[in-house]
Each structure stands twice: as structure tokens, then as C-alpha cells.
Amino acid sequence: MRLDDFHFELPEEQIAQTPPPSREDARLMTLSRRGGAIRTGDFPEILDLFVEGDVLVVNDTRVIPARLLGNKESGGKIEVFLVRRLVGEEETWACLTKSSKPPRTGSRLILGGGIEGTMVVGGDAPFRHIRFDCEGEFHAALEQVGRIPLPPYIRREDGPLDRDRYQTVFARAKGAVAAPTAGLHFTPSILEALRKRGVEIVSLTLHVGLGTFLPVRVDNTREHRMHEETYHLPRATAEAVNLAKEEGRRVFALGTTATRTLEHAVDGSGRLVPGSGTTDIFIYPGFNFRIVDALITNFHLPRSTLLMLVSAFAGRELILEGYRRAVEEGFRFFSYGDCMVIL
């Protein structure tokens, strides 16, 4: 399919710039893949879409304050964006840097909170490898001086509110540079209400990377390549999902990140395989979903890989009709935006 097949007109003012007053204070759109029905309501009504025996899979990754502001040893200002920790390398990260002149290999960076960095050999453009040293524990210092990496379409600096609201309430495993935003609407009370209905809630981890924001630069969508992201699928989660599939119970994926992990980790017999690794799975129309029966997601940007994924799950025509109605009815889009459930 062509990139233009995933275009729609989105007024810029409908890209949410701030979180709603409370997590649950959001609109809800429900799409039926079977009949094509589209319904709208309020987010707490999501409870009525679940039945006893359903399994909800959430992504428990936690966003790190990945933006560091500081100076090169020459005195020039520099911004460092941590993207991905290199496996087996103690606090060496693939990073993006922004400065008047690019720092040279071997040069030192002074980044505040006792954090210093050294430019080391490696990294494919535009990424650079930086080894970080710290007087104390690195992540503790990062929490003190790092900035929350809000997406580029949020046109403001991060603030104190984002420290809480750009994390899910079940965020645990540090490592993401973007939030699994479909989970931002969920509260402890919503999760408890689901459990009381007999819904089993299990978790996995996918550390969301910059690839979720990078534009598709090829006209033939099949030629696009996703960046690798690290994941962990616990044995208990794999067993719960496998049993649900055997018994004909539904598996809800909370977000595109949970969806990608589940559909990556399935073997040839249709069973999930627990473990850790990396995935660059790219889901677009024509993909055969083997695990996910229902998808909870936010509203995505035109011409994005996330729009392609939900189009693969629901059908491009139904998704674009739902998006047309969302624009018409003033829904809020993307990270701090409203919610869609595809059944």
C-alpha cells in the first residue's frame, strides 16, 4: 500500500497538548470489526466491553527522563537524548545530540547532577554512542536532572505534571523514551473494577523507542523499517494468554506496544514463547493476527506506522471512517488524547 492511503485531514488543534483533568476524563470510541458499527461515549464505559474470562495484557514499561541539558567541555551547550541502553555495556547508550557543532569522539560532556558523558566510537547516524559516568547511581541522578521526553508534536516544554501523567499507573520497568499511551487513561479503580468482573490482568515489557515517532519516508509502506525495541515476556503472562487462547477466551492488548510484543513472540504453533529480546516487527494491512482479539489504543497521526497497525487490525476503511467521525466530533489525538477500542 502507498503512504497516501493512510492520510487524513487532522486539525492541529486536535493534537492534545496537555493531559485531561483526570486520567479517566476522556472520550471513548468503539469499533466493531464484525459489523462495522461505530459508537462513542466516555472512557469509564470501557468496563462494559469486558466479560468474565477476558485477559488484558498491559505494558509495564516506565518512561525515563531521557533529555539531558548541559555543556561540552569546550563550553558550548548541548542537549542529549537517551534512546537505547546498549546490551552488555555499562551505561553506554545510543543517543541523539543537539549542539552548534557535533562533539568529537573522546570529548567530555558535563550534564548536571554529577552526570558526565564521554563520546565513544560507534552509532549509526543520527545516533551517537555515549558512555555515562556518575558520582552516585546513574538512574537516581537521571531522575533528578533529566527532562521528560515529550513527543515532538507536543509543542511545549515538559512540566511537573508530566512526571506523573506521562506514566501509566502500572509503570514499573525503567527504559522507555515514550509512554505506552493507551494505558494513560487507566486508574487503579478502573483496574480493580475489571478484576471484580473476572478479567485477568497480566503484564509484559516493551521499552518504547523513538521509532514510534519517526516519520515514514518511503512511498511503498512495505519498504519502511522499524527500529529495534527491547522486550520481556514473563512466563506467567505467556501461560495466561496461551490458556485463554486454548479455551476460546478473548485477549485484549492495551496499546500497540503490547500488540507488537504479543504478535512477535508467537511461535509456529500459535503459542506465546516467554523470554527477552528485541523486536522490529512492522504490522501493516495484510498482517495475520494470531494472539490479539481486541485492541485498546489512542488516536494516531496521519501517515504513521501506528495508524497502519490499527488499520491492519480493523481494516483501513473502517479505521478511516472512525477517524473521520473523531475529527468531526472533536476527539483529542495521540499521547494525551482520547481512547479507541477495536473489538
Pair (224, 315) in one structural domain: yes
- Asked, for residue 158, whether it belongs to a domain, the answer is no
pLDDT in the model for residue 144: 92
pLDDT averaged over the chain? 94
Pair (231, 332) in one structural domain: yes
Pair (56, 183) in one structural domain: yes
- Asked, for residue 326, whether it belongs to a domain, the answer is yes
Pair (37, 134) in one structural domain: no
DSSP secondary structure letter of residue 290: S
Number of domains, the chain: 2
Model confidence pLDDT, tens digit, residues 116-168: 999 998 777 788 899 999 988 898 999 999 999 998 899 999 999 999 999 99
30: containing domain = 3-63+163-342
Distance CA 282, CA 46 (A): 28
Model confidence pLDDT, tens digit, residues 208-265: 987 666 677 788 877 777 778 999 999 999 999 999 999 999 999 999 999 999 999 9
- Asked, for residue 150, whether it belongs to a domain, the answer is no
Q: How confident is the model at residue 173 (pLDDT cuts 50, 70, 90)?
A: very high
Pair (169, 43) in one structural domain: yes
pTM for the model: 0.93
Pair (15, 75) in one structural domain: no
Radius of gyration of the chain (CA): 20
**Of 118, 145, 172, which marks where a domain is finished?**
145
Q: How many CA atoms lie within 13 A of 241 on its CB side?
A: 32
Pair (199, 338) in one structural domain: yes
CA distances to 47, 219, 242, 255 from 196, in Å: 11, 47, 22, 22
Model confidence pLDDT, tens digit, residues 21-74: 999 999 999 999 999 999 999 999 999 999 999 999 999 999 999 999 999 988
DSSP secondary structure letter of residue 120: E
Q: Does the CA dihedral 273-276-277-282 come out positive or negative? A: positive
Pair (175, 309) in one structural domain: yes
The CATH code of the domain that includes 97 is 2.40.10.240
Pair (141, 241) in one structural domain: no
The CATH code of the domain that includes 304 is 3.40.1780.10
Pair (188, 318) in one structural domain: yes
pLDDT in the model for residue 213: 63
Distance CA 45, CA 202 (A): 21
